Chain A
């Protein structure tokens, strides 16, 4: 039996049934990483010794009945912008190359309490800025489905690790599509929860009004189980919404009869790859065959989501990243004259091109004389996009469309033209602007065998509906 092929829930069930020990699971995972990661480079650090020690501890707790979570004993991996106490958390940046957080992120505490075992930290675009994982200071991650292609980004390491069986389950973060787009490119499932569902405490900030943490795995059920573990209010993140009922895993009944699904006609217009379009229409037919109704409708203002997103995200980034000053933690240049040079030279050497570009866009749109025309205008566009979705959800339970306009690009194709890269975020960014949950589910491949993902967007806190639809779809195939 090849253990690493199992889903997280299947593995945990075998561990509970004593068919597999936690140590065996961890060894199998580490062996797979050892075998594959020199090729794909999903990981920024591998925690073999820590994982082995923790496996014994977790096994003991499972044996004595103190650990009963559905994910107990499962090896997992965490995107490298999520703080892990004493373990390097680099954001794939030179700036934080040697940073060891003095605390765990809330999601890490939650996963540990549920008995998962962290086997490593995952590569990403620097500070989560990018759609290909090519902006990582530590080198690119390759798409396990085709190593001449990018895995998507910014959670490229997380999606690639799940696809390459280098992890059963990973945690990524999504500011404008960074969970869903790489999940789509690598042929795995990833969900961005509603803003406020998961605590961002310990997530290194990019754009705070948009950032959410979410799971990437090889099934919707694994994502639901992980979301059950990491959701909930947190005194340390005041945007976290307290809700009484999560129970995502229990919501996967397989029954989507009567579910009303809308497909924005504008999503299928110019710019969408023909093979992607076909796959999504076929997926719609599958959902119909399961008893859902699917129809096209007009979602207004979508086109303006990208400009609004890049204004808002860059503005928040320029503010958030001002903390990297070479004083309290992170990189500092060695030679300088005076404080200003410490700041400027540290930041110029410590940050890569994409990060600098977004900080400059952010500084520009927030600067005196431009604030109203750019930043305020973007906030108004955001209001209109939210309104469009509100209207859609008066009629529909979910919105269905592609996750990305194309399948995975060739390595090296995107870096020279940032605007072209930004345009690839067309279907994902509006979901972050409106704060909604969105899941990317594999729905076939193109003629070169590259995975295609469909995106299901839910109402605010409508994770259960989109997970149920995703799970039902998976089982229909």
Chain B
């Protein structure tokens, strides 16, 4: 499969930007690895361009889907304790987060 060889060049800026979008912090070593991996994967992905898709509508769903409506009524019960049981940090029935506004 010759197309495996085609690589895309990923710059430092791009990898920093993409990591920020994904909310990840990468070490220098991880950045280098990510540049190489994404370069070869995106290079391969570019083979899609060989296929002529002019005039084709992008397809989100394989089958026709329609909006499903229901009455806007609450069906779940009071289960605050159950939901909070998984919270990493909680206090007085609330999730605890660091200060978000200065």
- Seen from chain A, the residues whose Cβ lies within 8 Å of a Cβ on chain B are 98-100, 102, 195-196, 209, 235, 238-239, 241, 270-271, 301, 303-304, 306-308, 310-311, 318, 322, 325-332, 336, 338-340, 342-345, 347-348, 351, 356-357, 359-365, 367, 374, 376-384, 386, 418-420, 422-423, 433-436, 460
The dominant DSSP class at the A interface is helix
Q: In the complex, are the beta carbons of A422 and B41 less than 8 A apart?
A: yes
Proximity string of chain B (44-79) to chain A, C-beta cutoff 8 Å, 1 when within and 0 when not = 111111110100111111110101101000000001
Docked-complex contact A307 and B65, CB < 8 angstroms: no
**B22-A270 in contact (CB<8A):** no
Which residues of B lie under 8 Å from residue A238 when comparing CB positions? 65, 67-68
Given contacts A339-B97, A345-B25, A380-B59, contact A360 B18 (CB under 8 A): yes
Q: How far is the CB of A404 from chain B (nearest CB, A)?
A: 16
Decide if B22 touches A360 in the complex (CB within 8 Å): yes
- Choose among B18, B19, B62 the residue that contacts A434 (Cβ–Cβ < 8 A): B62
Return chain A residues, CB-CB under 8 Å to B82.
102
Q: Could you give 15 example pairs across A and B, Cβ below 8 Å?
A: A102-B82, A209-B60, A238-B65, A307-B45, A329-B87, A342-B98, A344-B24, A347-B22, A357-B37, A377-B49, A377-B53, A383-B57, A419-B41, A435-B62, A436-B62
Alpha-carbon distance between A356 and B33 when the two chains are bound, in angstroms: 12
Known contacts A102-B79, A270-B1: does B17 contact A327 (CB below 8 Å)? no
**A435 CA to B26 CA in the complex, in Å?**
36
Complex formed: what's the CA distance from A307 to B42 in Å? 8
The answer to whether B23 and A384 touch across the interface, beta carbons within 8 angstroms, is: no
Pairwise interchain contact A381-B18, C-beta atoms closer than 8 A: no
**Residue numbers in A under 8 Å from B98 (CB-CB):** 336, 338-339, 342
State whether A364 touches B62 (Cβ < 8 A).
no
Task: Contacts A102-B79, A339-B98, A345-B25 given; indicate if A311 touches B45 (C-beta within 8 A).
Answer: yes
Nearest neighbor of A301 in chain B, beta-carbon distance:
B51
Contact status of A99 and B22, CB under 8 A, knowing A271-B1, A311-B45, A336-B98: no
CA of A432 to CA of B22 in the docked complex: distance in angstroms? 25
Q: Residue on B with the closest CB to A367?
A: B21
- Whether B97 contacts A380 by the Cβ 8 Å rule is no
Q: A239–B56 contact, CB under 8 A?
A: no
Cα of A5 to Cα of B60 in the assembled complex, Å: 43
B59–A356 CB distance below 8 A: no
Q: Does the CB pair B85–A102 fall under 8 Å?
A: yes
Residue in B49, B53, B70 whose Cβ sees the most chain A Cβ within 10 Å: B53
In the assembled complex, the Cα of A385 lies from the Cα of B66 at a distance in Å of: 22
Chain A proximity of B47: nearest CB distance (Å): 6
CB pair A419–B44 under 8 Å, yes or no, is yes
A301-B53 Cα distance, complex, nearest whole Å: 11
Also in contact, A348 and B62, with CB within 8 A (given A357-B38, A422-B41): no
Chain A residues near B45: list those with CB within 8 A: 307, 310-311, 365, 374
A384: contacting residue among B53, B67, B99, CB under 8 A: B53
The answer to whether A423 and B58 have CB atoms under 8 Å apart is: no
Given A330-B88, A347-B23, 20 other A-B residues pairs in contact with their CB atoms under 8 A? A209-B60, A239-B61, A241-B63, A307-B46, A310-B41, A311-B48, A318-B22, A344-B25, A351-B24, A356-B24, A357-B41, A360-B15, A360-B18, A362-B22, A367-B21, A376-B58, A379-B60, A383-B57, A422-B41, A435-B62
Q: Bound complex: CA of A308 vs CA of B68, how far in Å?
A: 28
Residue from A327, A343, A351, A381 within 8 A of B95 (CB atoms): A327
Determine whether the beta carbon of A378 is less than 8 Å from that of B18.
no
Within the assembled complex, what's the spacing in Å between the Cα atoms of A102 and B41? 38
Using Cβ atoms and an 8 Å threshold, which residues of chain B touch A367? 17-18, 21
A82 to B85, CA, bound (A): 19
- State A347–B41 Cα separation when bound (angstroms): 22
Give the complex CA separation of A435 and B83 in angstroms.
34
- Tell me, in angstroms, the Cα distance from A86 to B99 when the chains sit together: 31
| Chain B: minimal CB distance from A242 (Å) | 10
A239: nearest chain-B partner, CB-CB: B65
Q: Given A308-B48, A330-B86, A367-B18, A423 and B60 touching (CB < 8 A)?
A: no
